[in-house]
Every structure is written in C-alpha cells, then in structure tokens.
Amino acid sequence: MVDNAQDEAGGALDPSTHHRWSEPFQKFAAWLKEAQESEPNDPNGMALATVGPDGMPSVRMVLLKDWDEQGFVFYTNFDSKKGTQILSSKKAAMVLHWKSLRRQIRVEGQVEVVSDKEADDYYHSRPRSSQLGAWASIQSRPMQNRFDLEKRVALFTAKHPIGTIPRPPYWSGLRIKPSYIEFWEDRPFRLHDRLTFTPAPGVDWGQAWVMAKLYP
C-alpha cells in the first residue's frame, strides 16, 4: 500500500519505499484483536521502559488504554518514578508480548501529555474505587505498612462520599508518538520475522512510513 503524499519538492513519494501512515496501525489492530481472543489475562499489558537522569533504564508492566495513528496512551501518577522520568526525558519505549500467539510489538518514540479532556474522560470511566485510589496512593513513595494505604483510601472516601470525584492534578495520560514500530513473529529454527516502520524522511510526521525487514 503506497502513500500518495508528496515529498518536499512536490513529487510523489517513491512507491518502493514509502507506505501509508495507517499501515502499521492496521496491522497493530489485527494483532491486538487476535490477542484479545487468545490471551487469558490483560492482552493490553505492555512493558514500559523509561530512563533516569543517570542513564539507568527502568522497566515495568502497565496497561495500554488507548491508541490511534497519533500514538499509544497509558495513564499514571506524574509523581511516580515512570512519570518523573518520562516528563524529564520526553522519551519512552514499550513492548507488547503475546505468548499464546508467539508475537510481540515494539514501539519507541517521543512522549506527550494527553489533553485534559482525554484524561478526564478516561478517569471518570474508571470504577469509583479506582478513582479514589488515584488520590490515596502516593505512588512510588515509601510506605510503612498496608494500613497506611487503607487509611488514605478511607480518608478520600469520606471526602468524596457521593458525586463526581475530580481527577487529581498529578494524574493523567501519556502518549508515545512512535518513531519506531517493530512487529516480531516466531518462526521455526529461530528464523523469526521482523518488520519495522520508521517515519519517512522529507515529509511531515504522520504522512508516511519507511518499511524494512530485519534479519532475526
């Protein structure tokens, strides 16, 4: 599928190297749909990698909550370790791995904060207990015992017994805007398939991809 966008000189993009911006996202949608039918738990679970100011990488599992051709969205407390690292570097990487399908998708890119409306809409779609939890948890901070957390849950439950619970100002969504997407699929004798997409040079971001196949 060749993109019909124009390069900076006004000519048509080379059909041998440039592909529609939607192409990797269509593949992503197909793979995720299959995973939702085969994975027993959290098919949207992803490993999220960040880096600290000392250059030390850090990785943890989170849930992918939304995605489109602009990027991949997850939510977090901005005061958490991942939140502070991402807001400092504005970069992150993620991997979705589906053991039942023997597939994985890697994404790398710059990170932006989602709009207040996006964050509010998602926050208020969560169970009320999860909304209260976002207030109660001082994420990534030391905690003496479980009772400390339970006291804070009780405190905010009493503070918001009924009605709408406002979204905490430090809690929102982050969108990874992809500069690299890789689809990996298991093949016999470890001769796996690897297909990559990177934004095409010479055109605006979001116009076209360059596709490549990699040795396993």
Quick one: 181 and 102 in the same domain?
yes
190 is catalytic: yes
Quick one: 153 and 65 in the same domain?
no
* Residue 1 domain-assigned (yes or no): no
Quick one: 56 and 155 in the same domain?
no
Quick one: 49 and 84 in the same domain?
yes
Q: Are 197 and 209 in contact (CB under 8 A)?
A: yes
Task: Provide CB contacts within 8 A for 2, sequence distance 6+.
Answer: 13, 15, 18, 19, 20
CB count, 10 Å around CB of 188? 6
pLDDT at site 18: 82
Quick one: 188 and 104 in the same domain?
yes
Look at residues 106, 99, 70 and name the one whose alpha carbon lies nearest to residue 195. Answer: 106
pLDDT at site 211: 95
pLDDT at site 202: 87
Quick one: 109 and 193 in the same domain?
yes
* Residue 104 domain-assigned (yes or no): yes
Residues for the chain: how many in total? 216
Quick one: 157 and 185 in the same domain?
no
Quick one: 162 and 189 in the same domain?
no
Count of domains for the chain = 2
Domain containing 32 — which CATH number?
Answer: 2.30.110.10
pLDDT at site 1: 33
* Residue 181 domain-assigned (yes or no): yes
* Residue 105 domain-assigned (yes or no): yes
Q: Are 164 and 124 in contact (CB under 8 A)?
A: yes
* Residue 79 domain-assigned (yes or no): yes
Spatial separation of the C-alpha atoms in residues 177 and 108, rounded to whole Å: 8
Which among 60, 106, 187, 190 is annotated as catalytic? 190
Tell me which residue range forms the domain holding 175. 18-121+171-213
Locate tokens 């053991």: which residue?
99
* Residue 7 domain-assigned (yes or no): no
Alpha carbon dihedral 6, 9, 10, 15, in 10-degree steps, equals -40
Quick one: 186 and 142 in the same domain?
no
Write out residues in the chain with pLDDT < 70, as ranges.
1-17
Quick one: 133 and 204 in the same domain?
no
Quick one: 117 and 131 in the same domain?
no
pLDDT at site 3: 38
* Residue 2 domain-assigned (yes or no): no
* Residue 10 domain-assigned (yes or no): no
Quick one: 56 and 69 in the same domain?
yes
